[in-house]
């Protein structure tokens, strides 16, 4: 998530004990049990049972196989307008912003964007993405690529005319707003590897399409048809228009793409008194992020829908509920170019970072994990009511309705919020109508009425249940062999020491006006560092057959190598120091092992404000968790395991490295580079080439491959 659209306010007013306080207790308890040892990673990561369990599981998994090892040397940190990859690798620019999906017209540096052109071209600021095989093709050489477009850079979008019109005041021109709306959303584009080993887009393919912030979409699940989502556009509350600020993503075992709506509240406004959910999620009261609500004209509330101020006698006459049709996981069928996207409301409503499937097992529910990417917000999971039937697995070309299968698994089930305990255990707290609120003689149904009410107010329901506020939960990934879940907690500058007086402040007009809760949250076991600049990656394992219990540990702490042991808890060196872990991808290999890829979002668009940012741009790192299995610390990164964590790639100046997957044959790694400052070079698809002068920057997908065609990473 770019700093340009991050909401730095803390909207959680619950007073629940935050994760960093829990983690501080966890570490303190470890110190006592280890006989007073300091905070070296070998003394803090093992967990209470989880470290041993993971170590034994890893040993069993890789028994009789050769250990997987990384086959490249860490690349040095870089601060240039180019991509850096290891020796023997290439990096290609693919499907950048503005590339037309069909037709003859294409990008030029002086291209003046229009609504129609942008609606049929790659959008801005690529983020999450995934690949989908086609029938009768090599799934590692020819497939559908689906890419999120998180937000826009108005200066680049409107560069030929010197910037946007009336960016901060007065009415915006209708066609400028339409173009900006069409630069958001999702793109589906067919790509293939050519005989010379490079990749190309198949322009004009029948699958190629765009979903924008204006595309008609269906509402499904508990919220569908409820009074919460009735608008002048959809008076029965069954549909809406658009998906916005699509950050990370996910996929389903039946072959659909999941895109997630993150920092969407800021494109709406309500100039009257904010409703509880609007306040909790941080809706503006004066002007939206881009002033879309100020544009005049349009039909059926084309622009008016961004103003949620009640103006009619009831919800059917205005757009007071429009924002309640946003904040969801959205399912897309990339195979059917005539299908609508569907908002799966059962998975909760908040600022979703992404949505990742758990290990899929026949006869068991389908599980998805998701995080709310804001300071002191929660981690969630959804457990389907339906049990997994392998007959529903994706089979390209079979003509089935994948969205019907999605309805089977994603419209009904139980939504949970996570509570992390200081002893390394955890609880999943159900957010259901019959769930009793701890310490109270009432249920969530008594408070919110029905499941639709709980979903609309997901964060408030998690507040009441005592979920653990976290340090900005971002990407997750699941080891398909063990089922272990990794999630990045990117950072939190609003953390205080455990005994600090600056803790939760409840009530007060000024606090309410800011949407603030924790002025600075105290540390805890799972978020142990005050002013957590560097972030960390957490890992947990579910209890077999129990959907309400898990064990957790910290996999790795980000830090600058120059920091002391009280901050650099993982003992990172100059070869692998990192800050603000974000994108994650577990690259499973056939031998039961795999590479965990870690991407960073160190906020370089906001300045080089920490010791890591002073040394390098955002980056991609790699580690083989199973290679750590013999260490005392329970298969985590510690001082003795530094050679197992390596820097694989570095992005150009000002960019965020995000979006990641490998082809099934592991010969190509795809990443996205968002909001670069001066990249890529014109008239070249070599991502490692720096421009010779100033260029109009374009977010892009980058494909990293070995020159010899071998598997990446090893």
pLDDT category at 525 given cuts 50, 70, 90 is: confident
Q: Is residue 60 helix, strand or coil?
A: helix
H/E element holding 156? Answer: helix 154-157
pLDDT at 591: 83
Residues 353-370 have a mean pLDDT of 97
- Using CA of residue 227, residue 230, residue 234, residue 239, what is the dihedral sign? negative
* pLDDT top residue among 496 and 662: 662
- Give the Cα separation of 11 and 18 in Å (integer): 14
Residues 502-527 have a mean pLDDT of 49
Is the per-residue pLDDT at 57 higher than 60? no
Nearest one of 97, 91, 197 to 685, comparing CA atoms: 91
- Give the Cα separation of 555 and 538 in Å (integer): 5
pLDDT at 546: 81
Model confidence pLDDT, tens digit, residues 128-154: 999 999 999 999 999 999 999 999 999
pLDDT at 284: 97
pLDDT at 393: 98
Is the per-residue pLDDT at 503 higher than 50? no
- Give the Cα separation of 131 and 702 in Å (integer): 14
Calculate what percentage of the chain has a pLDDT beyond 90. 79
Lowest model confidence (mean pLDDT) among 162-166, 209-213, 515-519: 515-519
H/E element holding 200? Answer: strand 199-201
Is the per-residue pLDDT at 59 higher than 70? no
pLDDT at 500: 55
Residues 228-254 have a mean pLDDT of 98
Model confidence pLDDT, tens digit, residues 528-551: 888 899 999 999 999 987 889 999
Nearest one of 70, 84, 152, 195 to 620, comparing CA atoms: 84
Is the per-residue pLDDT at 114 higher than 80? yes
Q: Is residue 160 helix, strand or coil?
A: helix
Which pTM was predicted?
0.91
Is the per-residue pLDDT at 463 higher than 60? yes
pLDDT at 484: 96
Residues 229-258 have a mean pLDDT of 98
Lowest model confidence (mean pLDDT) among 115-119, 226-230, 453-457, 495-499: 495-499
Nearest one of 147, 103, 155 to 125, comparing CA atoms: 147
Model confidence pLDDT, tens digit, residues 373-418: 988 899 999 999 999 999 999 999 999 999 999 999 999 999 999 9
Is the per-residue pLDDT at 606 higher than 80? no
Q: Which residues contact 249 (CB under 8 A, 6 or more apart)?
A: 127, 128, 129, 130, 146, 148, 257, 258, 259, 260, 354, 355, 659
Residues 549-565 have a mean pLDDT of 95
- Give the Cα separation of 184 and 123 in Å (integer): 6
- Give the Cα separation of 260 and 673 in Å (integer): 18
């Amino acid at each position: 998530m770019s700093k340009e659209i991050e909401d730095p306010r803390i909207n959680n007013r619950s007073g629940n004990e935050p994760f960093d306080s829990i983690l501080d207790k966890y570490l303190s308890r470890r110190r006592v049990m280890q006989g007073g040892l300091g905070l070296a990673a070998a003394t803090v990561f093992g967990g209470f049972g989880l470290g041993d369990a993971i170590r034994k599981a890893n040993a069993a998994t890789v028994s009789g196989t050769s250990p997987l090892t990384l086959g490249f040397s860490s690349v040095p940190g870089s601060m240039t307008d180019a991509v850096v990859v290891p020796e023997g690798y290439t990096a290609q620019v693919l499907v950048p912003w503005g590339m037309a999906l069909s037709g003859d017209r294409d990008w030029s540096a002086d291209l003046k964007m229009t609504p129609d052109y942008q609606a049929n071209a790659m959008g801005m600021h690529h983020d999450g993405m995934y690949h989908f095989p086609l029938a009768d093709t090599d799934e590692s050489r020819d497939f559908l690529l689906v890419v999120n477009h998180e937000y826009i850079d108005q200066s680049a979008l409107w560069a030929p005319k010197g910037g946007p019109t009336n960016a901060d005041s007065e009415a915006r021109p209708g066609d400028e707003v339409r173009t900006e709306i069409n630069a958001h959303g999702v793109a589906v584009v067919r790509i293939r590897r050519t005989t010379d080993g490079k990749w190309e887009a198949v322009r004009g393919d029948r699958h190629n399409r765009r979903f924008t912030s204006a595309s008609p979409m269906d509402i499904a699940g508990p919220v569908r048809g409820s009074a919460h989502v009735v608008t002048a556009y959809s008076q029965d509350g069954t549909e809406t228009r658009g998906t916005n600020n699509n950050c990370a993503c996910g996929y389903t075992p039946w072959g659909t793409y999941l895109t997630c709506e993150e920092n969407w509240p800021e494109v709406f406004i309500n100039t009257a008194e904010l409703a509880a959910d609007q306040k909790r999620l941080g809706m503006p009261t004066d002007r939206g992020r881009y002033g879309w609500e100020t544009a005049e004209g349009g039909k059926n509330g084309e622009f008016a829908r961004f103003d949620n101020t009640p103006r009619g006698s009831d919800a059917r006459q205005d757009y007071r509920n429009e924002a309640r049709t946003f904040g969801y996981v959205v399912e897309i069928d990339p195979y059917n170019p005539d299908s609508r996207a569907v908002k799966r409301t059962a998975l909760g409503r908040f600022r979703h970072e992404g949505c990742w499937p758990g290990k899929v097992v026949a006869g068991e529910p389908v599980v998805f994990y998701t995080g709310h990417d804001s300071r002191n917000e929660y981690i969630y999971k959804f457990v389907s009511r339906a049990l997994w039937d392998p007959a529903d697995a994706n089979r390209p070309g079979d003509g089935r309705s994948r969205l019907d299968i999605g309805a089977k698994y994603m419209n009904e089930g139980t939504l949970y919020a996570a509570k992390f305990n200081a002893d390394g255990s955890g609880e999943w707290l159900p957010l259901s109508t019959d769930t009793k609120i701890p310490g109270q003689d009432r249920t969530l149904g008594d408070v919110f009425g029905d499941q639709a009410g709980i979903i609309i107010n997901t964060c408030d329901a998690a507040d009441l249940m005592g979920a653990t506020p976290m340090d900005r939960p971002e990407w997750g990934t699941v080891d398909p062999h063990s089922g272990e879940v990794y999630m990045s907690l990117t950072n939190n500058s609003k953390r205080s020491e455990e005994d600090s007086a600056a803790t939760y402040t409840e009530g007060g007009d000024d606090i309410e006006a800011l949407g603030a809760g924790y002025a600075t949250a105290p540390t805890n076991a799972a978020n142990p560092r005050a002013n957590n600049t560097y972030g960390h990656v957490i890992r947990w394992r579910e209890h077999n057959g129990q959907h309400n219990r898990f064990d957790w540990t910290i996999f790795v702490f980000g830090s600058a190598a120059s920091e002391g042991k009280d901050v650099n808890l993982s003992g990172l060196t100059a070869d692998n120091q990192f800050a603000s872990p974000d994108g994650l991808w577990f690259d499973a290999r056939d031998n039961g092992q795999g590479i965990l890829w870690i991407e960073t979002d160190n906020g370089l668009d906001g300045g080089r404000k920490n010791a890591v940012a002073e040394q390098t741009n955002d980056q991609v790192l790699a580690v083989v968790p199973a290679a750590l299995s013999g260490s005392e610390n329970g298969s985590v990164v510690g001082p003795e395991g530094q050679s197992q964590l390596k820097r694989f790639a570095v992005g150009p100046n000002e960019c965020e490295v995000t979006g990641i997957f490998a082809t099934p044959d592991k010969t190509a790694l795809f990443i996205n580079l968002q909001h670069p400052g001066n990249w890529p070079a014109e008239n070249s698809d070599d991502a490692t080439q720096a421009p010779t002068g100033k260029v109009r920057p374009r977010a892009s997908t980058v494909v990293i491959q070995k020159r010899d065609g071998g598997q990446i990473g090893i």
